[in-house]
A and B are shown apart, each in its own frame.
Chain A
Amino acid sequence: GAVVSQHPSWVICKSGTSVKIECRSLDFQATTMFWYRQFPKQSLMLMATSNEGSKATYEQGVEKDKFLINHASLTLSTLTVTSAHPEDSSFYICSARELAGGPSTGELFFGEGSRLTVL
């Protein structure tokens, strides 16, 4: 089955540093990738929609200058948390939708998640 891989799985960083999280579709091309954030014992909240070759669309309340999203190819989207602070500590999960016409057309696949801890 289709696989979406996130890297790193977990990261600890100092306050004020920037952290980049990668989301890769390993065996399919993804027109669209989505980034979610999940605080401890809470639900997942959509942060932004990333489309290959164009600017990401951010949900209301999500700071686009804080959470930089780049979708440079059909298999890779990156989320960079800039100048991270302890309140940014969270579980970040991406999902990818297969390009229309692929074997799993339109199916949505989730990465394993990346746990960020900012000290």
Chain B
Amino acid sequence: AQKVTQAQTEISVVEKEDVTLDCVYETRDTTYYLFWYKQPPSGELVFLIRRNSFDEQNEISGRYSWNFQKSTSSFNFTITASQVVDSAVYFCALSPDYKLSFGAGTTVTVRA
């Protein structure tokens, strides 16, 4: 069984602050994928990243960065210098085969 835990329900920050979203997962599979998606108020899912379980390298993409630690089964996401446009619900997801198990989501509100 797959399980994804996003312990933070809501995070509110002031613009330009950094915000880190936690994601902890459980799986018995040795090969799996981890994802992060952004869901703005309009509802569509915006793909942010996919990480293979064998690739533990951290990744940076602009103001976004991800920290994958297999030893602690965590795949955390940091937004640096947050902007109002970053306000959305962020989902972490896990999949061995493209059937995604989503976490509960973290609502990020960035205030101007």
Partner of B100, one of A42, A44, A109, A111: A44
User: What A residues does B103 contact at CB under 8 A?
Assistant: 43
- Minimum C-beta distance from A81 to chain B (A): 18
> Which residues of A are found within 8 Å of B47, using beta-carbon distances?
109-110
B28 at the interface (CB under 8 A from A): no
Residues of B within 8 A of A110 (CB): 37, 44-45, 47
Docked Cα-Cα span, A42 to B50, in Å, equals 22
Q: Given A43-B103, A43-B104, A43-B105, is A34 in contact with B43 using a C-beta cutoff of 8 Å?
A: no
CA distance A106 to B43 in the complex (A): 24
List residues of B (19-59) whose CB comes within 8 Å of A's CBs: 37, 43-45, 47, 50
State which of B44, B50, B91 has its C-beta within 8 Å of the C-beta of A43.
B91
Query: What is the CA–CA distance of A83 and B38 in the complex, to the nearest angstrom?
Result: 32
Q: How many residues of B contact A (CB 8 A)?
A: 15
Asked if A88 lies at the interface with its beta carbon under 8 angstroms from chain B, I say no
Using CB atoms, name the residue of chain A closest to B35.
Answer: A108
Contacts of A115 in B (CB 8 A): 43
User: How far does the Cβ of B13 sit from chain A's closest Cβ, in whole Å?
Assistant: 20
A112 pairs with B44, CB closer than 8 A: yes
- Whether A49 sits at the interface, judged by CB under 8 Å, is yes
A90 to chain B, nearest CB (A): 11
Residue of B43, B45, B101, B105 touching A46 (CB-CB under 8 A)? B101
Output the residue of A32, A34, A45, A108 with the most chain B CB within 10 A. Answer: A108
- Whether B43 pairs with A91 at a CB distance below 8 angstroms is yes
B91 touches A108 (CB 8 A): no
Judge whether B98 and A34 touch: CB under 8 Å: yes
Chosen A-B contacts, 5 in total, with CB atoms closer than 8 Å, are A36-B100, A46-B101, A110-B44, A110-B45, A110-B47
The interface of chain A, by Cβ under 8 A from chain B, is 32, 34, 36, 42-46, 49, 91, 93, 95, 97, 106, 108-113, 115
